[in-house]
Amino acid sequence: MLRFRADDFTAKLPWFYHGLPFDSPVAHDVLSFEVNSLNLPAGEYDVALLLAEPRAGLEISFDGLAFEWVAADGDAIVLRGVDLSRRMLSVYMRAETQLLREVVIHAPGVPLDQARAEAPLFEEYVRDIKSDQSDALTRWDEFNDLLMADDFGRDELMAMFVTLRDWCARRQVTDTDDPHYGAIYSEEDKYDFRDAAAAAVTFAWAWRDTGEDHWLDRARVAREYVYRGQHTEGERCGGWAHMVSGKWGGDLQQDFRRITQDLPGVDGVDTAIIINLLCRAIEVGLAPSGEDLDRIEMGAGWMLGSELTPGSFAHHEGATHDCQNSNALAAMALSRAHEALVGAGRDAPTAWLEAAQRGMDHWLEGQEAIGVWPYLFAGIGRGQAFDQQNVPDQGMGGYHFMVAANTPALLDTPGMNEAATKLARWYLCTSRIDESEPRPTIDLQYQRDGGGLLFSSFTWCRFMAAAVLARTAVRSGEREPWRHLALRLMEHVRTKLWNTTDPERAPVVRSCRPDIELHSWIAAAEWEAVLLRDIIEHLEASEL
């Protein structure tokens, strides 16, 4: 049993969450009650909505769109058999103002009077979606005028791609005697396997664009270098190590920026990303050999073995936390690997698809009403709000969720479109007007003071967001405002986060915060080039 003060967890979501047009703010009468991180055994419960004043009943919904009248029984509206296996209660009611005083959850068969008297009060947090801190909501007219401008498009995106492509080529190690032959030398002073995989895709695109075979040669040697970071024996077989200096994976401290005799442990996040990039390289035109398919197959084998509990996959070797990003990444990697192998005429285990579906189902059930996924399943603190704290998590998990959603195995999973459009709405509400010179642009929120890594300031978060939005415009059929928001974020990057003065630095500035220094996830020019082509591809598709 649990008891909640209704005011602590009730919020009014923006009008466009309830099917109303985006054009201008519209008054509505829908309230959202939501509480996450319920410490209750999985199962079905009765949920009693205790009324502040007597009334006949309320219109109730579990998605904020379709409502059903539920009659009151005395001073309570009782919802029977509510499934709380996802450790979250989310319910909507039609009401202009708060009509509830408390909400009580109890097992079926427990008398309501007993539950009201005995249920402990839940006081883990107070819900605050931070609508009052959102420029998109508090400055809508000004924001919308800026959002819907039409002075930036495909030509500008392609020019950005070409500049990043040429940077990748300049940084590629071309000396065949160098132990890092084929790698991209990162401005973070490392030869990263993920960077090389992204470069292979970038060079394959360059070959496709120009017909010049030297780009294909660059793509091949970049892909060959990627395999240097993959374990090929024992329990680690198939997993990729992550090149990083500093903390990685909780308290793990390592310095791995060069090929050494022994690879460090497996990073599940990089393994999934690399699998996707290897599959993407094939799709763009980099034909696979038997070894290339073997490498993808080994990677998927490690991903399959990393499932901790149904639908929950290890963030890194030895991790035990239920990281939602890892679940989306694993679902994507397993379904993408299966798609690639079958497309090349090779058999692939159905166990991959079964695990991918479990990962996708678990990912979907963790989304909150405003469209955010807490970093940890059923977690609080990194969720619950339109706030910078989830910008990197939403990008990493959200983008790979959208990639997975387009695979044959997961294409028809129920709830995909609804989740995608709520995610896009979260991005809209977490955007802000950047007033800095040379002119106002639209950016994502990020922490502008304080220490630490400040992940939300990383420029690649803007690329991930734009790729999510461009894919949403295609997947959901809801073209706007997602096409325009994707373009506005890229316009912001080109206008304010683009390097045109230092040839020793990547064309794209790695962070909104130039004081950040760590060999980690900050510099990602090669990956950003891949994401640019993804954005272009889906913006073009949404015009059809």
- Consecutive H or E run containing 403: helix 391-404
How many other CB atoms are found less than 10 A from the CB of residue 407?
A: 22
- Consecutive H or E run containing 245: strand 244-247
Q: Dihedrals φ, ψ of 440, to 5°?
A: -65, 140
Query: What pTM was estimated for this model as a whole?
Result: 0.96
Dihedral Cα 309, 310, 312, 314, nearest 10 deg: 50
Find all residues with CB under 8 Å of 378, minimum gap 6, and list them: 36, 37, 38, 86, 87, 88, 322, 366
Give all domains of the chain, ordered by start, each with its CATH number. 2-127 (2.60.120), 154-230+237-341+352-542 (1.50.10.10)
Q: Can you point out the beta strands (E) in 306-428?
A: 307-309, 312-313
In terms of C-beta density within 10 A (0-12 exposed, 13-18 middle, 19 or more buried), how is residue 294 classed? middle
**Tens digit of pLDDT per residue, the chain (544 long)?**
999 999 999 999 999 999 999 999 999 999 999 999 999 998 999 999 999 999 999 999 999 999 999 999 999 999 999 999 999 999 999 999 999 999 999 999 999 999 999 999 999 999 999 999 999 999 999 999 999 999 999 999 999 999 999 999 999 999 999 999 999 999 889 999 999 999 999 999 999 999 999 999 999 999 999 999 999 999 999 999 988 876 555 555 678 899 988 898 999 999 999 999 999 999 999 999 999 999 999 999 999 999 999 999 999 999 999 999 999 999 999 999 999 999 999 999 999 999 999 999 999 999 999 999 999 999 999 999 999 999 999 999 999 999 999 999 999 999 999 999 999 999 999 999 999 999 999 999 998 776 666 889 999 999 999 999 999 999 999 999 999 999 999 999 999 999 999 888 999 999 988 777 666 678 899 999 999 999 999 999 988 6
Contact 119, 1 (CB under 8 A): yes
Query: Tokens for 108?
Result: 């079926």
